[in-house]
Structure 1
C-alpha cells in the first residue's frame, strides 16, 4: 500500500433527517439524478425510511418518511433492514428489505410496484427472518439476499408490476450481508456480481439469463459486512476492520490492509476513477484509490483522505457522483447526513 498525495475534501452543509439512522450495514443510499438537478438520499430507522431530496445547486431540499408496508393483515409494521435505489437501463426502483419481505417502489417512493413475502416456515423457529443485500444486476435483474443465505433474482419489466422471481442462488449457508454488481464494466470472464455473508464467505457470479457461479472465496474468520466490484476487483470490508481485495475471476487475494480500528459498516466505489470509500465503528471515513499494475498483474491501493466523524459510529457512507468527487456519511443515532466534496 502506498500513500497518495492528499485529496482534500471539505465539509458541506449537512442534511437533517426526520429520524436518526439505525446501526445497520450500508445504511445510506444515494441517487444522483442530473437530468432533474436533484440528489436523493435515504437511511433506515425502525419501520420507516428517511428520504431527502436536495437541489444540486443548493437552492433547497425536501424531506419525508416512507413507512414500510406489506401484504396481508399484519398487526405491526416490519423493521426495515436496508434500502437502496437500483438503477437499471429501463427504470429505477427503490427497494426496501425488512423482517417480512421485499418491497419495490418507483424511484420517488410514491407507488409500490411489487411485494415479496419471505417464507417464515423455511427457517428454524429460533432464527430471525429478514432480507438484506440489494443490487441491480445485468440488464433487467435485481438481486436481494435473505437470512437463510439464499439470493433471490427478480426479473424486472421495463414498466409495470409484472415482477417475477427468475432464479434462486443457493451457495451461501449464512445470512447474506451485502450484494454488489458491476454494470457493463466487468472485464471478460471476471464476473459482474458478488454476494457476501455473515460468516465472511464470498461468491462471485456471472449474470445473464441464468446466473453462473465463477468462484467462492472462503470465510476468513469474521463477517464480511460490505462488498464492491470494480474492473474485476472485489473489495470487501470485514468485522476485524480489514479491507481485502480479490481477483473476481479467480478469488485470489491481492491485498489485505488494516483500514479501521473497528468493524467496517460500509464500502462504496466510484466506478469512473476506482476510488474506494470505507466507513466504520471507529468514527473514521477513508478514501482510497484502487489501480491495476499491468506490469506485475497486480492490484494496488493508495490512501487519499481521512475524515473523523466525531463520536459517531459510521453505518452509511456513499459517493454522490461516479467520479468520487463528493461523498455522504451517516451514523448510528445521528439525525443528519454529513456531506463532503473535493476542494476546487
Structure 2
C-alpha cells in the first residue's frame, strides 16, 4: 500500500507529453533530482526526502533555436548548473508541415541514445573525463518517430540485449550496445503506438496506446505476458530493478504497480498486481519510481503545477 506524501511545487505545469518526468536519486547526498518539460524549457528540481524543494532551475533551449529548425539536443551536469554539450538536429528532408523533434533518451554505459522524429536514433559517446562528446553513430531501423528508449546494465553474457527503442507504429528494436550497436531482434507492432518501454533482466516491458502492457523476451522477441492494464493509452512505464516492480500510468488517471518474477524454471515471467492509485481529474503525463527498491514514486499531470509523491506504508 502507498500513501500520499508532500507534493513538490513547480513553477509551471508539465507539458502534455508521455514520459514527462525524470527522477535521479542521489542517496549519498540525501537528495532527489526531478526533471519536467514545460513548453520550450525543462524544469530541474532538487528535493530533500520529505519533499522540501531545495533548488529549482529552468533550462532553456539555446538562444536563437526557439521551436524552429535547427533544433538541438543539450546535455547538462546533473544539477543543471553547466551545459556541457549541444548538438544541432538536422531537419533533413522534413517538410514545412512536419514536426521536427527529439524524443526518447537513455544511457547505456558511456553511450547516450537520443531518438528523433525521423526514426533515427543518435548515439553519443561520452568520455569518462572531459567535454569531448562525439556523435558515434546513427541507428536507422525505424521508419516512424521514436517514442521512447530504455536500457539496462549488461549482466555478463546472458544479458547482451541491453537497449530497446520504440516508435509510433509500435515497432520495438532490441540492441546490444557497444562501439557499434548490433540489432538483435525486431518485435513488430500490432496497430497501436508504443508510448513507453523498460528493460528488466532481459525482459522488455512495453506500454501501448490501447492501454495494454506487454512483456517480451528481449533476445528473441517472444511474448510472455499481455496485460489489459488500463482503459486508455499508457503514458509512462518505470521499473524498480531491485524489487522487480513495474509501474504503469495512463490517461485513465490510474497508476498501477505490478510485481514481476521469473518462474522457478526461468522459462517465463509471472505478474502479480500489487497496487492501484487514482489521481482524479488529471491527465497523467509522467510517473517514476524514486528509488531502486520501488518504495516510493512520483507523478506529473498536465496543467498540474506540482509533482505528486507517494510512499509505501
Shorter chain as normaliser: what TM range? over 0.9
1:278 alignment partner in structure 2: 248
**CA distance 1:187–1:27, change in 2 (3 Å):** farther
In structure 2, C-alpha distance between the alignment counterparts of 1:163 and 1:63, rounded to whole Å: 26
Counterpart in the other structure of 1:93: none
CA contact (8 A) 1:244 1:253 kept: yes
Q: Does 1:194 find its partner at 2:194?
A: no
CA distance in 1, matches of 2:70, 2:215: 31
Q: Map of 1:193-232 to 2, 5 A cutoff?
A: 193-232=163-202
In the alignment, is residue 55 of structure 1 matched against residue 25 of structure 2? no
Residue of structure 1 in register with 2:111 after alignment:
141
Give the structure 2 partner of residue 118 of structure 1: 89
Query: How much does 1:190 deviate?
Result: 4.5
Report what 2:24 is aligned to: 31
SS in 2 for 1:205: strand
1:109 to 77, 80, 90: 80
Asked whether the equivalents of residues 275 and 290 of structure 1 are also in contact (C-alpha less than 8 Å), the reply is yes
For normalisation by structure 2, the TM-score amounts to 0.96
Q: Is the 8 A contact 1:227 1:236 kept in 2?
A: yes
Residue 10 (1) aligns with residue 3 (2): yes
In 2, are the aligned partners of 1:18 and 1:65 still within 8 Å (CA)?
no
8 Å contact kept, 1:134–1:142 = yes
Residues 27-106 of structure 1 aligned to structure 2 (within 5 Å)? 27-56=20-49, 61-69=54-62, 73-74=64-65, 77-78=66-67, 100-106=71-77
Q: Equivalents in 2 of 1:295, 1:329: separation in Å?
A: 36
| CA deviation after TM superposition for structure 1 residue 300, in Å | 1.3
Q: 1:55: Cα distance to partner?
A: 1.5
Give the paired residue count: 313
User: Runs in 1 of length 4+ with deviation above 6 angstroms?
Assistant: none
Q: Secondary structure at the match of 1:122?
A: coil
Q: By how many angstroms is 1:123 displaced?
A: 2.1
Aligned to 1:87: none
8 Å contact kept, 2:168–2:194: yes
Deviations 1:271-300 (A, max 9, x none): 111100011100000000111114371111
Give the TM-score normalised by the residue count of structure 1. 0.87
